[in-house]
């Protein structure tokens, strides 16, 4: 099983992420998302506060990709996996009670099971670490 490291968790929870989805015709869509939490070794919870095309895509096609990187570009990761769009239940209650969502609509919780993690940093920078 893939495991999200503490370093990756820090980036996910401190930075806005890029969330990529696609519809059934493979038309891509990318949005920035700020309300993200790592909730298990391989699970990321995102709040649907403003999704439109993204919501439609998630309901049609559960495959997603996430990208996150540090400001100095010395650290970055791509996460690929499957998303569940949840309008009720435990995860929806969690986003409803998250202080980061206060004053926002939090229409649903999006629970992502991470299946792959890739470095987004150039091999040259990785070698210099």
Query: pLDDT tens digit string along 76-88?
Result: 999 999 999 999 9
Q: Tell me, yes or no, whether 62 lies in a domain.
A: yes
Q: Look at the block and give the residue holding tokens 């495959």.
A: 63
Q: Tell me, yes or no, whether 21 lies in a domain.
A: yes
Q: What angle do CA 24, 4, 50 make, to 5 degrees?
A: 45
CATH number of the structural domain spanning residue 95 = 2.30.110.10
Q: Tell me, yes or no, whether 1 lies in a domain.
A: no
The answer to whether residue 91 scores a pLDDT higher than 60 is yes
Please give the C-alpha separations between residue 26 and each of 39, 61, 74, 103, in angstroms, as whole numbers.
29, 9, 31, 34
Task: Provide the pLDDT for residue 106.
Answer: 82
Q: Which domain holds residue 67?
A: 6-128
Q: Please answer whether residues 92 and 67 qualify as being in contact, where contact means their C-beta atoms are separated by less than 8 angstroms.
A: no
- Domain count for the chain, please give it: 1
107 compared with 122, residue with greater pLDDT: 107
| Residues sharing a CB contact under 8 Å with residue 70, sequence separation 6 or more, in sequence order | 11, 15, 76
Report the percent of the chain where pLDDT is more than 70. Answer: 94
> 50-66, pLDDT tens digit by residue?
899 999 999 999 999 99
pLDDT averaged over every residue in the chain: 91
């Amino acid at each position: 099983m893939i495991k999200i490291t503490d370093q990756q968790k820090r980036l996910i929870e401190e930075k806005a992420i890029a969330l990529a989805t696609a519809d059934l015709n493979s038309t891509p869509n990318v949005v920035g998302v700020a309300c993200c939490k790592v909730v298990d070794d391989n699970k990321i919870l995102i709040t649907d506060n403003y999704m439109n095309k993204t919501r439609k895509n998630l309901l049609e096609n559960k495959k997603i990709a996430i990208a996150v990187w540090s400001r100095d570009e010395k650290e970055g990761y791509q996460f690929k996996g499957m998303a569940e769009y949840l309008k009720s239940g435990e995860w929806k209650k969690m986003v409803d009670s998250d202080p980061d969502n206060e004053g926002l609509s939090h229409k649903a919780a999006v629970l992502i099971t991470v299946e792959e993690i890739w470095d987004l940093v150039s091999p040259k920078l990785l070698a210099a670490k």
